[in-house]
A and B are shown apart, each in its own frame.
Chain A
Amino acid sequence: MTGSAEDLELKDRLSLIENMIAEGRHTTANCGWIFLLWGVAYYIAIAWSTFAHYDLAWPITMSGTFALMSFIFWRRRGNRPMTTIRRALGSSWIATAISMFVILDAIGFSGRADCRISIAIAATLIGTANAASSIILKWKLQFACAVVWWAASIISCYGTFTQSSIAFLAAIFLCQIVFGIYLMIREVQAHRQEASHA
């Protein structure tokens, strides 16, 4: 083998290492459906509690959605590897879910529930999870979602009941429904691209 052929072989190896490391870190996160699912669940809970005046509408809808999400997760689990980024993203959302469950249940059962304050707390926590996720992924669009949630939170603190409700509904629509559908479209495109490269 000539010197330049050897160099080429060694360079190939270096690029193989780089490509494989990048491949390992690349996680095609299929999470668009989760945003959409929770967005729809929030709307169902809001409609149920508003029009039927049923006190347990929120706990039942949230528990049912959590059960449904767990089931879908279980059915769709693939062979994707565990990466530090996946663990970090998962932990920020799990911590948020637990915090919301604890604080909103405590507010509800203590009888000190105030709709605007509950909206403010929920919006702040969801905004925090979106912000943490956007910083990990260096994703400006998701950070914009966090800002929308925080704006809804501030409006809930200062605004009337109607204003806070509108802000909450708008944040759900933009940051759960629209963002979730956008993610799902991106995921389909990524899968198509992967399939064409395979």
Chain B
Amino acid sequence: MLELPELNPVIHGKLRLALLSLLSGVEEAEFTWLRAKTGATDGNLGAQLAKLEDAGYVAVKKRFVQRKPQSLYCMTEAGRQALTEYVRALKQLLGGAIGS
């Protein structure tokens, strides 16, 4: 019998999944852009990004632009691999239902 894959719990959270997907389409993105695209609050967004960072899926660069702090996030190779595997597992779980 075919064993069904488990979904990566770090990515499975909806906001974290949205963040990783967003970052997969860009080279790097600012905190404010991620907030605008996800509609999340500062606190929640920061917490979820920290979880992704702890897992090694995103990297952050902090800098000052015109004396204002700016956080730039980018996806790491591990993050890209994890998202690819997550999508593969999702598709496997859905099986035949994916086309319907």
Q: Is A80 an interface residue (CB 8 A)?
A: yes
Interface flags, A75-117, vs B, CB<8A=1, else 0: 0000111111001000000000000000000000000000000
Instruction: Knowing A17-B17, A17-B87, say if A82 contacts B26 (CB, 8 Å).
Output: yes
| A interface residues, how many (CB within 8 angstroms) | 22
Interface flags, B4-26, vs A, CB<8A=1, else 0: 00000000001001100111111
Q: Is A22 an interface residue (CB 8 A)?
A: yes
Q: Are the CB atoms of A25 and B87 closer together than 8 Å?
A: no
> Which residue in A13, A16, A25, A79 is a CB contact (below 8 Å) of B25?
A25
B24 / chain A contacts, CB cutoff of 8 Å? 21, 24
> Which residue in A10, A14, A18, A25 is a CB contact (below 8 Å) of B26?
A25
Q: Are the CB atoms of A24 and B90 closer together than 8 Å?
A: no
Q: Are the CB atoms of B17 and A81 closer together than 8 Å?
A: no
14 A-B pairs with C-beta separation under 8 A: A14-B90, A14-B91, A14-B98, A16-B18, A17-B17, A17-B21, A20-B21, A23-B25, A24-B21, A24-B22, A24-B24, A80-B33, A81-B30, A87-B27
Sample of 13 further A-B pairs with CB below 8 A, known A20-B37, A81-B29, A83-B26: A10-B93, A11-B94, A13-B90, A16-B17, A16-B21, A17-B17, A17-B21, A20-B21, A20-B22, A24-B24, A24-B26, A83-B25, A83-B27
Cα(A81)–Cα(B94), bound, Å: 32
Interface residues of A in 16-57 (CB under 8 A from B): 16-25
**What does DSSP make chain B's interface, helix, strand, loop or mixed?**
helix
A21 / chain B contacts, CB cutoff of 8 Å? 21-22, 24-25
> Which residue in B14, B25, B30, B94 is a CB contact (below 8 Å) of A24?
B25
Interface residues of B in 40-91 (CB under 8 A from A): 83, 87, 90-91
Name the residue on B nearest A83 (C-beta): B26
Name the residue on A nearest B27 (C-beta): A82
Q: How many A-B residue pairs have CB under 8 A?
A: 71
Instruction: Knowing A17-B87, A79-B30, A81-B30, say if A23 contacts B94 (CB, 8 Å).
Output: no
A56 to chain B, nearest CB (A): 34
B83 / chain A contacts, CB cutoff of 8 Å? 17
Name the residue on B nearest A18 (C-beta): B21
Name the residue on A nearest B14 (C-beta): A16
Name the residue on B nearest A87 (C-beta): B27
Q: Is B97 an interface residue (CB 8 A)?
A: yes
A10 / chain B contacts, CB cutoff of 8 Å? 90, 93-94, 97
